[in-house]
Each structure stands twice: as structure tokens, then as C-alpha cells.
Structure 1
């Protein structure tokens, strides 16, 4: 792995757990195996991460999400005919009003996040946008897990209030 023996050692030592994690996301072990092969390829050109195991889990998650989104785009573009033939159909698109509404909601949430204390903002972003577990966030922010749970709940409540106040 391009001189990155720590990442290789971590990958090999945790391959079974990574496979289970990937299978949980993808829904089956065949796709999970393919995903882990792609993780292996991506990691060969990676810089040495500070936390190799966390890095590997994040790469697995990001690749799984990318594949899921790509499959969603394929499902929007193709319909399975009775004979098993894929037929191209136009992809459904949201209207301008829906796009505008979605953008306004996102802007309101981002504004609410900017009002939060830095640790609370980081905890919410890591939990909801990055998919980190509470124990990972606790280690990253150097605070107890109970505090992580509490500040995430407070942050989400603040965002909810801010979102509904803007409507």
C-alpha cells in the first residue's frame, strides 16, 4: 500500500468487521465484497491517516453511499420490462418550487448550525452528516458519550425550532 503498512495492517486485521459493516449498508455480502475491493484500491493511494480504522470505516461508508446514489439514478432512468429488458424513461425531476423550498430548508438548518457552540455543531455534523457513532464523536471531541448524546439532542432541537420558526 505505497509504504502505508499501518493502514494495510489495520485493513487486514479488521477486514471481517469492515465486510460486516459494508454488508449492513449494501444489503448483501456480494456487493460488500466488491466494495471492500474498491476500498483496498482507494487506500493504496491514500496518505497515512491519523486513525487508520476510522479512516477505513469512513471510506467504506462513503463508497457505499456513492454506489447507493448511483443505483438510485439508474432506477430513475430505467424501468424493468416484463421480458427482463431495461427500457429508458425520462427521470422524474422536482419542480422549481420544490427545489426552492428544499434550498430554503437547508439554508435555515445551516444558519441554525452556525448559531450553535462549536462542539455542539461538530457533534451534530459528525453524527447526522458523516454518520459517526457516539463513541467516535466522544473520542474526537474529548468529551463523555453522555455529553455527546445531550449536545446532539440540543443541537437538533435548536435546528428544528429554527426551521419551523422560518416557515
Structure 2
């Protein structure tokens, strides 16, 4: 549990959050100092965009300020709650971005077809594989990256993402299947 010494007394995240409920800006500042790096890192990992991740980090702490009373200590630790909000918001950002891009795409547009020519060379580097992963839905990409690149077990990932183990396995399986299809199209 994260605590800070103030006047000889340790203050936990949960205690600071109670002060935030009472609109104590210095308590929010302490929570920001403790957790902003983790929020930013998770947002940037999902979004792959420094500027948007930084903006989302600010929005997350604004949400903490406005909705601190919704936190329930009996359900999760503060950091878990905070990172869950971050994960959901980052995935929402990706979905919104995808919705803005998709309507402008046309199958008849030859310039787009030329830009997205199939990959004909063998995939021999992690960089190329990461580029292919960007074609997957965010949920599938995140599951595959946590499993194969970060080395987490299926159980750990399911617990972290707060989803059933079967759902996680389906995401990984569907993501791998889609990657195979993308690679076959390129041959």
C-alpha cells in the first residue's frame, strides 16, 4: 500500500482519496505524484502515442477529482481502480479513433490500396511483428503482447484485465488467427 509521511503519520492512497472527496487539492497532487507515471505508462502502452497518453493521464486525474466518491476500497485497491479506469479510457480512445478513420476508407480507393500493399518479405524482426499487431483490435493486441512479449501467464493477464480466463484465451486465439491471415495475404 502506498503511504506518505505527513507530520509523522503515514497517509495511504485511500486516506488521500477521502481528502480528495472533500476537495483537498493537495491530496490529489500527492496521488498524482505517486501514480501519474504508471497511468501514463499504461495509456502510452495501449495508445502508442505520447501526446494522447499525456492528455489521457490528465483526464484520468480529473476523473479522480470529480468521481473520488465512487471508489470502493472493498472492491479493489486505489491503484488497481485507477489503472482500470486508465485501461478502459485508453481502449475507448482507440475505438473512437478507429471510428473516425473507418468511414473515410473506401475499398475502391487505389491510393489506400497502394499504401497498404501486402507484406511479401518474411517476418523476421520484432519490429515487423509489432507493426502487424497494429492491425488487430486493441483487446486482442493487448492480450497477445502481454502473453508473448511481456511473459505473463494467461491467469495473470485475465486477472489484470478483469476478464474471464476463457475470454482472454479467445482473444489470443482470434488475434493469432487474424495475424496468420494477414501473413498469408502477404505471401
TM-score (norm 2): 0.41
TM-score (norm 1): 0.46
